[in-house]
Amino acid sequence: MRLIAGAAISAVILGIGLRGVGAEPTAAVVHSLPPTSGALALSLLVAGLALATAGIAIWKARRAHAELRRLSRGLDAALASLDARAKSADAERLLLEERLRTEIDTIALRGASASLAPLQADIIPYPAISAKRKGDKPDPADAVEIALARVLADDELELSLEPIVSVSRNAGVAFEVHVCLELNGVTHHIHRLSAAGRHVERQAFEKAVVLRAAEVARRRLGGKDDRAPLHCPVSEELLLNATACAEIAALVTMQPALADQIVISVPAHLLIASTGAVAAGIDTLSASGLGFAAEGWDKPAAGIRLLRDRGTVALKAEAGRLLDRQKARRGSASGAEMVAAAKADGLAIVARGIRNDEDAIELLDLGIDLMMGPHFAKPKRLRPEPAKASRALADAQAG
């Protein structure tokens, strides 16, 4: 570009010099010059064309530069707008998380202040018990079971209730039932008995828990419009006992309102049994109007519909399982798939074992509203009524 411009300028200077001698003399000179003068004239013509080309090129370059500057300014404005929107979205997200943490903290303050040791399914959380005599080292499990056997024999079973919290409603909407036992100054909240227990029959214990929960539901909880269902954990042993299932079903049949206030919490794999004594026990309880809560699900999401067909109203799973932090069986549903399938089939989702705000917020993002665990409240002892569980059945039979 610079070479062309230089040639053009040189040509202009030469042309000006030639014009200075006049037109006629110039013509005379051209005619009188030797043949090389024609080449000079041709050079002048070429120089003029180069000047014109250079002018056009310069005009186009300036136009392209102006367009580039305009595009650059537009791009800068778009980037600034995008950055402002991103900062605004981050601020809104942080505000929402802060509000959620505030609500969760408020719920936690409504419950007990102390943290709760993790409750494992199918075990009793036994704290260490000091020996009373030198050389005497009793087995803590035996000590708790012996004390529990005595309580059952005397019909003095006491319950403790752990709230199932609705985060959106900022309130407890149901309760997980435990048995409360005081031993040597230590309070035990027993969720389930171990299958290896030696001093207490598991099915007898679970039947007593359901009957006592029914008594509590009749005497302490509100009506159908203001109810908070009690979730009673049972195992295969209770379902295998036809007599125990029939007794519970008879109580609920004679007091139909109990069907809305008692939920039988069962391992999910038992609820999909289609034949055998377990299925018969489930059918007996279901025929009385009782609903079930399925604990855990390690199969494909499509199978959740089978739970609904057996009378299941809620699906319970550990927070780590729902957030895909726990190793799952091959082919089992992911947390998001479980939530979607349960909602599609009309089942409530209860996340268990919530220990911090981060877990609660992630579960809310997943679409889960019902939660329970040490982050919210520990089981609280429920003072017994004067009437015993055995009287509840007698009262029901009396009308």
Amino acid at 3: L
Amino acid at 93: R
Amino acid 269: pLDDT:
93
Cβ–Cβ < 8 Å for 171, 156: no
Region of 362 (left: φ > 0; alpha: ψ -120 to 50; beta: rest) is alpha
Amino acid 72: pLDDT:
75
Amino acid 16: pLDDT:
42
Instruction: Tell me how far the alpha carbon of residue 168 is from its chain's centroid.
Output: 14
Where would I find the H helices in 33-115? Answer: 36-110
Q: Which structure tokens are listed for 246?
A: 């029939």
Say if pTM beats, i.e. exceeds, 0.85: no
How many other C-beta atoms lie within 10 A of the C-beta of residue 222? Answer: 10
Amino acid 288: pLDDT:
96
Cβ–Cβ < 8 Å for 230, 263: yes
Amino acid 166: pLDDT:
95
Amino acid 106: pLDDT:
60
Amino acid 220: pLDDT:
64
Amino acid 333: pLDDT:
92
Per-residue confidence in pLDDT tens, the chain, 399 aa: 544 444 444 444 444 444 444 444 444 444 444 556 777 778 888 888 888 888 888 888 887 778 777 777 777 777 777 777 766 666 666 666 666 666 656 655 554 333 333 333 343 443 333 334 444 455 666 788 888 899 899 888 999 999 999 999 989 999 999 999 988 888 999 998 887 677 889 999 999 999 999 999 988 655 544 578 999 999 999 999 999 999 999 999 999 999 999 999 999 999 998 789 999 999 999 999 999 999 999 899 999 999 999 999 999 999 999 999 988 788 899 999 999 999 999 999 999 999 999 999 999 999 999 999 999 999 999 876 544 444 444 444 443
Bridge partner residues of 264 (DSSP): 232, 292
Amino acid 226: pLDDT:
57
Enclosing H/E stretch for 281: helix 276-287
Distance from C-alpha of 371 to C-alpha of 376, rounded to nearest angstrom: 8
